[in-house]
Structure 1
Amino acid sequence: MSEEELALYDILTKPAPELSDKEVSQVKQACRELLETLKKEKLVLDWRKKERARSDVRRTLERIFDRHLPESYGEDIYEEKCEVAYRHIYSSYYGGGQSLYRQVAS
């Protein structure tokens, strides 16, 4: 996993829920797919300044998590993880290919 994927994975798995090996794979897939989709389609220049773009990012996150996160994510945990993951994306990805991760690597 890349540093970006690992940061998202940690958000989704710590401190809860407890996951089986199969569920861990599902969460890793969710992290990969979310970051790929957001980078290709949603994290455009100035996305944080536009309400519609922010909503698109949030809906994409929820759609991918709905599809990949296992049943062990109850409704309360799911909602909390969505919120924390969105805040992480908002604070780490500036749009137009710029991110906290790209600055560190440069």
Structure 2
Amino acid sequence: MGDRDLAATPAGTDGAGACPRCGAYKHTPRSPELKRDVTRRINRVVGQLGGIRAMVEEDRYCGDVLTQLAAVESAVKAISRVVMRDHLETCVVERVRAGDAEVVDEVMDLFKKFM
């Protein structure tokens, strides 16, 4: 498998996420550009959420709060698309090339979460 996999996969891991016994996670190296982009986007969303909190505390108009919530939701979906694209172009391709067809089920489960 590629260098994106957990260096030493503990027994009992299901290949997706953390080991239920030891808590170890798969390791996924990301490019500095992707990290900067995703971090920038997340920081923007965090700022937007802080603004929405202030709007609620200030009893701002519900329609304005909902508009800002929709903007945050859209921004989070955009982050998900960026990470999904990277996952498909790297992790999934590597696993398919290595003959791991189970990755298709994992990807389908991920798609279900976004539909």
TM-score bin, normalised by smaller chain: 0.3 to 0.5
TM-score, normalization by structure 1: 0.36
Task: Work out which of the two has the higher radius of gyration on C-alpha atoms and give 1 or 2.
Answer: 2
Please identify which structure carries the higher helix content. Answer: 1
The structure richer in strand per residue is 1
